[in-house]
């Protein structure tokens, strides 16, 4: 696997290589991107290119800002931007995992008490991160190249892009090149949708905040990296507000009475606009995952032989 060197200040790829439990969940593509300096001609041309799914590389013009509180004050909020969430967004590096950009949009520290059933599921999980993680013993749908869905895909250390068209908001994720549809044409949240990886998402505006409700999930992945369950009864709410031109605020709220005794309300998470970035093509290839398992991930859990 080739790790591309980033222009300017790069994300700490070396630390990621030492933390094998995170690599296979989509962290590695942060460092495999092809960084080519490009300028986007104009928003209309860019939008048109995206809508026909033109293959593009990923360019980084500069490193993410580490201090969101300062960055959020750089520009005053502008009323015309209140319903414009378009752009490539990357979360700030203010998370709990050293060397990673955030990954705390679903914040473990704010998780409510679990139901007995939920506790049994968490106890049986073999997470990719956290105090329970054991190198080489992890288990997650991503290790089998199964797709990531919300809310987990929203908090992984990869950028995503928002494109708005009449009646819909589209989200393009670098993670496994997933794209997501949020309906904003006034339709209600469906009562009994078929279970799926991404669920069924409906959005509406409350002032300057886009509120997205998603239901109809399958139970094949977790809500985060710590093994907290997502089930067919999970009701996910996301709140998006453009604080200023360069800053997007996201808040994730999880409700599932089967797992959690009350709603799991994480604090708002800030993301930085990256106008010089492009979403890379990246897919999970099972043979590559297995090769990485044999060479890096599983050996990482074996104690070195004593001399």
Q: Tell me which residue range forms the domain holding 79.
A: 13-301
Is the model's pLDDT at 8 over the cut of 90? no
Q: What is the pLDDT of residue 35?
A: 35
Among the ranges given (38-52, 116-130, 181-195), the one the predictor scored with the smallest mean pLDDT: 38-52
The arithmetic mean of pLDDT across residues 109-137, rounded, is 84
Lowest mean pLDDT among 60-74, 242-256, 292-306: 60-74
Q: Assess if residue 4 is contained within a domain.
A: no
Tokens describing residue 28: 């590695």
Number of domains in the chain: 1
Give the pLDDT confidence of 292-305 residue by residue, as tens digits: 777 776 676 666 66
The separation between CA 306 and the C-alpha centre of its own chain, rounded to angstroms, equals: 40
Q: Are 208 and 82 contacting, i.e. CB atoms less than 8 angstroms apart?
A: yes
Res. 136 pLDDT band, cuts 50 70 90: low
Query: Residue 171 in contact with residue 151, Cβ under 8 Å?
Result: no
- Give the chain as a 3 state SS string: CCCCCCCCCCCCHHHHHHCHHHHHHHHCHHHHCCCCCCCCCCHHHHHHHHHCCCCCCCCCCCCCCCCHHHHCCCCCCCHHHCCCCCEEEEECCCCCCCCCCCCCCCCHHHCCCECHHHHHHHHHCCCCCCCCCCCCCCCCHHHHCCCCCCCHHHHCCCCEEEEEECCEEEEEECHHHCEEEEECCCCCCCCCCCCECCCEEEEEEECCEEEEEEECECCCCECCCCCCECCCCCEEEEEEEEEECCEEEEEEEEECCCCECCCEECCCEEEEECCCCCCCCCCCCHHHHHHHHHHHHCHHHCCCCCC
Q: Is residue 121 part of a domain?
A: yes
Query: Within a domain: residue 69?
Result: yes
Q: Does 2 map to a domain?
A: no
Answer whether 0.85 is exceeded by the pTM. no
- Evaluate whether residue 42 is within a structural domain: yes
Q: Has residue 174 got a pLDDT over 90? A: yes
Burial 166-201 (b: 16+ CB within 10 A, else e): eeebbbbbbbbbbebebbbeeeebeeeeeeebbbbb
Kindly report, residue by residue over 250-264, the tens digit of the pLDDT: 999 999 999 999 999
Distance CA 201, CA 189 (A): 7
Confidence category of residue 81, pLDDT binned at 50, 70, 90: low
Percent residues over pLDDT 70 in the chain? 65
pLDDT at 32 over 70: no
Establish if 8 belongs to a structural domain.
no
Q: Which of 173, 179, 170, 139 is nearest to 156 (CA)?
A: 173
Please report whether residue 44 resides in a domain.
yes
User: What is the Cα–Cα distance from 10 to 62, expressed in whole angstroms?
Assistant: 9
Q: What is the mean pLDDT of residues 197-212?
A: 97
Task: Tell me how far apart the alpha carbons of residues 255 and 28 are, in angstroms, rounded to a whole number.
Answer: 31
């Amino acid at each position: 696997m080739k790790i591309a060197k980033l222009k300017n200040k790069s994300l700490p790829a070396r630390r990621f290589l030492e933390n094998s439990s995170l690599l296979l969940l989509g962290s590695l593509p942060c460092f495999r991107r092809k960084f080519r300096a490009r300028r986007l001609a104009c928003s209309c041309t860019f939008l048109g290119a995206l809508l026909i799914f033109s293959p593009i590389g990923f360019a980084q013009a500069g490193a993410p800002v580490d201090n969101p509180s300062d960055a959020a004050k750089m520009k005053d909020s502008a009323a015309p931007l209140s319903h414009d969430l378009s752009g490539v967004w990357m979360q700030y590096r203010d998370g709990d995992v050293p060397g990673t950009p955030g990954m705390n949009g679903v914040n473990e520290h704010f998780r409510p008490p679990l139901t007995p059933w939920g506790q049994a599921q968490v106890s049986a999980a073999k997470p990719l991160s956290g105090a329970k993680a054991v190198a080489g013993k992890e288990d997650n749908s991503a290790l089998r190249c199964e797709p990531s869905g919300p809310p987990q895909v929203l908090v992984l250390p990869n950028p995503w892009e928002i494109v708005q068209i009449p009646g819909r908001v589209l989200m393009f994720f670098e993670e496994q090149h997933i794209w997501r549809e949020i309906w904003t044409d006034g339709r209600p949240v469906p009562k009994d949708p078929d279970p799926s990886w991404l669920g069924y998402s409906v959005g509406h505006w409350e002032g300057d905040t886009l509120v997205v409700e998603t239901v109809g999930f399958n139970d094949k992945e977790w809500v985060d990296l710590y093994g907290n369950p997502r089930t067919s009864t999970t009701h996910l709410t996301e709140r998006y507000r453009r604080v200023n031109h360069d800053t997007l605020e996201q808040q994730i709220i999880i409700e599932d009475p089967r797992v959690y005794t009350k709603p799991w309300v994480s604090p708002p998470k800030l993301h930085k606009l990256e106008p010089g970035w492009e979403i890379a093509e990246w897919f999970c290839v099972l043979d590559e995952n297995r090769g990485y398992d044999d060479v890096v991930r599983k050996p990482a859990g074996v104690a070195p032989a004593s001399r």
